[in-house]
Every structure is written in structure tokens, then in C-alpha cells.
Structure 1
């Protein structure tokens, strides 16, 4: 394997970076990292279906993730034809309504202290998913991994709520309490997330429900945080991954239509950056290795490669080989199995 950066970007599918990019620790400086996952994309569809037309600021308030991340979600959904944005706000398109039907779930804040351990509970009805439930511990584990204290799973069999893996029925008072808020049908699953606050309870319940459904199946691009409009903050985690991979060498990145970032020594030192070689690679669509002729790295070797999606260049990312100034060649390498 010759070049660490080239190998990484060539073979590192963008959707495989999703978890790393969405949840990377914010120990580095230089602006916020977008923090959203399938839950927030699903909640976006839920809110638009429920409150449409909905303005971006109002949607951000519902999602509680900030307008920048909300804009990124809407851009991806709009690019995929799921939503339309007009002067009145955001609405679901016909394709979006069809998609929503496949992932539609009902949710409601409840209080079920007989079954849960947190101060706040959120119940989610997962239509027709009783057959996908095993023992309920799987949903509990997913909820915990996503910040909840736990989750209790029930299934509806013969129009009666029971605990999965047994025929033990739920107390009728508890069932009535759940049916007061959810239109539970035979074959449905009900997941009750529990946490110290409402937001974590809902996040745990919905994420566990999405896992039960097999995740959001909209298109692969909805798992990608990068587009040709991505900001420097949205490129941050990819850039830091490359920065770590090449032993701390400076890394620069920008999308096609936005200014980018420049990283040195584990910190963002410029969050509105562009460079001649970055622009050259975006226009040419091919990897470039050359000595920079201008900018902060003038006279230093750089290697820049395009990031493509659907055979279109959406961004470029590069490494500055400052160690070449000491006369050492071929430093950006990965050892082969034979070395």
C-alpha cells in the first residue's frame, strides 16, 4: 500500500465514516461537529409530517441539535427528493410521504414506574414489529448505548400486551395507560425508553425502535454527512481521522461550494480555508502531488485527493508533508504485510 491518504479516501466509503463523524469527541478546537444520527433524521420526518409546513428554526427547536446540523439534514433530504422547501417552510414530497409510511412510529411521553427505572419514560409503538422482538434485552442495550437508562419492550399478541419470550401479560392498568396514548394493534411492538430526562428517554426508545425496524432505509446518501455544500465543521471529523492516520501531519479539506479547514498539531487553525491545490483537485477530479506554489505551505510538498459521491467530486482533502523539508522522502506510507 503506497499512500495512506490515498488508500484511506479511495477505499473508505463515506457511509462507513458515519458513526465516527457524528459522535467524535469534541476535544479538538475549531467549531462544532455535527451531532446527529438516524434518530434525528427520523425525528425530522416525524416533525414535518406532524407540523408541516415547518420552518427550519422551529424544526431545529424540535430536534434540539442546532440550525447548522438541521440544515445539513434538510439538504440531504432535499437532494434525495424527500422534502421540499418553500416560503412557507418544509414539507414532505410524495416520495417523502411514501418513505414516512415505511418508518412511521407513534411516540408519547408516559410514566410507567412499575416497569421502568428512570424519572422519565417515552413509549414508542413500532407497527407490525412484534415478530422481530426476541427477549427485549436487545432493545434495552441499544437504548443504553444511546444515553437512556434502559428500555422495556412489550409485544401485542392476540390483542393483548405481553412480555416477549413469554405469555406473561402486562397488568391491565398499565396496558390501559399505554393504549390511552398509542393506537396499539395486534402484531405491534411497544418500546418504553427510560432516562433521567424526556429527551434521553425518547432518544433511547426511538433508536431501539429503528434498530428493530432495520434502520432508516432511505438511501445510502442519507448516511453520509458530506455533500458538495459541506462546511468546514462538517468535514472536521474526516480531516482529524486523516490527521491521526498520517502521524499528525497538517491536513486541509474543503467541499466544492464552501470554505474548509486547516488542521495542525491536533487543532483547527483556520476554519475558513481554501488553497490552490485543493481547488485544482476539485476541478480536475484527480489526485495531485506537487509542491505548493502559494499560501501558508508554499514550497512544501502536498498530496491532495478528491472525495467523490455518485461519480461527482464533492470535496477535496490533502496532507502537507512538512517533514519533506528535512529531506526525507516517501513519509506518507502504510507498511505492507511483508515489511
Structure 2
């Protein structure tokens, strides 16, 4: 049974969760099981409805067993966890970060996957953190990617005290104003470095009706740059979407009336929004198709019309505004 069918069966609003929350569920189950659904929801930091959907996904992937006494990982689930396992801890290394709170993850044998460290920083920022610092451990030395200079003594001691390091490990330190945002940033960057969650699905196209906001975010940022920084919204057919302004994701659980209409009818719409955060502003939303099916919608908000710039996004003469 497809995940979209599960959501129709479960009813209610579309759950608000990301790959980070699925990872956190696997992490909690790997550390302490069995765990009841309510307790797992608290540990993961999402509502019970989202937790129920996460558990359904994991169950259909053969990753968990759900019984009266709680949820446990199956042998398949332990394999899935082993592919994305990361140690995680809070860390005090103020000289390396910019936020008030730091959370670090140890990504096993991933040093060779790190390029310059800016990629992990960008992934952390997209996930809501203020930034991230990446380190690699090679030949007994902790260093920044791209050079062989060791860390300062204080930071080096702090990282070594936090983790039992092995050669070629990568350390990603997420930084933010809250522990939750710092952790999500570090874990999300680590997941990207590991290649993401490998859950069984019926199909695996680049973009599918099951695409999460993380999978659409690269396309949305590309459009954001192409249109000169105008706000961009994107949503896949069966998941919540994203809203980008000024180079940042300001809402990762977004939907809107025009996005939903385009997903339903499968044609481009150009009109003035009548509701939501862009009410009264001209928008253009177009569908993204795969195999003759609409799988997502992406839109641009023409805020320049508010400043008197007429028609920067071309509209048909017969459009009803």
C-alpha cells in the first residue's frame, strides 16, 4: 500500500515531519525499546498524528514491530538504522560556532564524503539552524576539511571527550538559538552526507508524489535565484511544502490555495492571491509533472508589483485578476 493511501486512510491534516524526525524515531528505538507511541511522539518532538504516520511508513518498510507493549526495531530496521547511525551530543565549542547552543553528530567513516564543509553548513541552515561547522578525523588529528591544520587545543579536547573517534569519521556541529534547531541542523546535514534514509518505496524517481520538502528544496532555491530573490513556494502532492524568502526557508510546513488548486487541475495559474500570507499579491504557480502525472507545484510571488513595478512576471491578457 502506498503512503498516499495510508494518509487518506488515516484522515485529518497532512502530518508535519521531515526525514530528521524519522531518523530521530529510529535513534530512539535503537537506544530504548519497546517504546509506546505517546512517549515516542514526545521524544521525537512531533504530534501523535505525525508519529502514527512515521510508524506506518517504518512498518511498511519492515523496519519496526508494533505490539501491545510498544514499538521495537526488526532485523530489517536495525539494518536501516546501521546505514544512518550517528552518535549525537551537545557540545561547548564557542570558538568554532556562531550560535548560543551547539549539537554535534559523529558521522562514521564519512570524512571522504566531505568536500569543503560549506555543503553541510547550507544543509543545516535549510533545516532551521543558524549554521554548522564540519570537522574530519584523519590519522589521529581533528582538522577542518581541505587543510591539515589541527584544531585549537580546547576545542580538540571537547570533541574527543564527546566522541570515541575512529579514523575517517566526520563531525558536524550544528549551532542555533535552541537545542532542537541545533540538533535538527546537525542531523539533517549528517543524513545528507550519508545519502539519506533508505526506506523501501514502490518507486524512487527524483521527484515523486511522496517528495518531502527536503527533496524539493533544491529546485525551489534554484527558482528563487532565477527570479531575482522573489518569494517562492513549492509543495509536493502528498506532503507539506516550503516557503522561501530572502534566501531562507521561513516555513517548512506550508501550503496555499493556489498551490493546492494547481496540484488538483494540473495547469499553470496566474492570479492575485485571495488568502494566506500573500493575499492581494500577484502569483504564478505551475505544476511539475512526471510520467503524465502532477507530482508537485511551484510558485513565484510577484512582490515587486507592490512597489509599482508593472507586470514583471508575464501574464496572459485574458487572465482573470
Q: The TM-score by the shorter chain falls in which range?
A: 0.5 to 0.7
For each residue in 1:41-79, what CA deviation from the matched residue of structure 2 results, as whole angstroms up to 9, or x when unmatched?
Answer: 111100000011111111100111100000000011111
Question: Are 2:34 and 1:53 aligned?
Answer: yes
1:206 deviates by: 0.4
TM-score by length of 1: 0.59
Residue of structure 1 equivalent to 2:93:
112
Q: Is the 8 A contact 1:155 1:190 kept in 2?
A: yes
Match status 1:135 vs 2:116: yes
Tell me whether 1:244 sits opposite 2:262 in the alignment: yes
Aligned counterparts of 1:242 and 1:120: Cα–Cα separation in 2: 37
SS in 1 for 2:95: coil
The residue that corresponds to 1:187 in the other structure is 168
Q: Kindly tell me: are residues 127 and 246 of structure 1, through their superposed partners in 2, closer, same or farther at Cα, counting changes over 3 Å?
A: closer
Could you list the runs of 4 or more consecutive aligned residues of structure 1 that deviate by over 4 angstroms after TM superposition? 221-226, 234-242, 245-249
For 1:122, the equivalent position in structure 2 comes to 103
Cα distance in 1 for residues equivalent to 2:68 and 2:264: 46
Mapped contact 1:248–1:266 kept (Cα < 8 A): no
Does residue 150 (structure 1) correspond to residue 168 (structure 2)? The answer is no
Q: Distance in 1 between matches of 2:119 and 2:70?
A: 38
**Does 2:97 correspond to 1:97?**
no
- Measure, in 2, the Cα distance between the counterparts of 1:35 and 1:225: 13
CA distance in 1, matches of 2:264, 2:50: 28
Quick check: 1:71 aligned with 2:71?
no
Measured in 2, the distance between the counterparts of 1:236 and 1:131 equals 33
Q: What do the CA deviations read for 1:56-108 (whole angstroms, capped 9, x no partner)?
A: 11110011110000000001111121000111111000111112111110000
Distance 1:141 1:79, change over 3 A: same
Q: CA RMSD in A?
A: 3.3
Alignment partner of 1:87 out of 47, 57, 68: 68
Q: 1:148 to 1:239 in 2, by over 3 A?
A: closer
Q: Do the aligned partners of residues 235 and 167 (structure 1) sit closer, same or farther apart at CA in structure 2, a change above 3 Å counting?
A: closer
1:152 aligns to what SS in structure 2?
strand
The Cα offsets for residues 270-299 of structure 1, whole Å up to 9 and x where unpaired, read as xxxxxxxxxxxxxxxxxxxxxxxxxxxxxx
The whole-number CA distance in structure 1 between the counterparts of 2:46 and 2:201 is 22
TM-score for both structures, normalised by structure 2:
0.62
- Aligned counterpart for 1:41 among listed residues 2, 5, 22: 22
Structure number with the bigger relative contact order (C-alpha 8 A, sep ≥ 6) is 1
Tell me: CA distance 1:77–1:162, structure 2 relative to 1, closer, same or farther (3 Å): same
Structure 2: segments with no counterpart, 5+ residues: 212-236, 241-254, 268-273, 277-321
Contact 1:128 1:188 in 2 (8 A): yes
Instruction: Pick the aligned partner of 2:195 from 201, 214, 218.
Output: 214
1:162 aligned to 96, 121, 143, which one? 143
The number of residues matched between the two structures is 221
Q: SS where residue 180 of structure 1 aligns?
A: helix
Matches of 1:96 and 1:64, distance apart in 2: 21
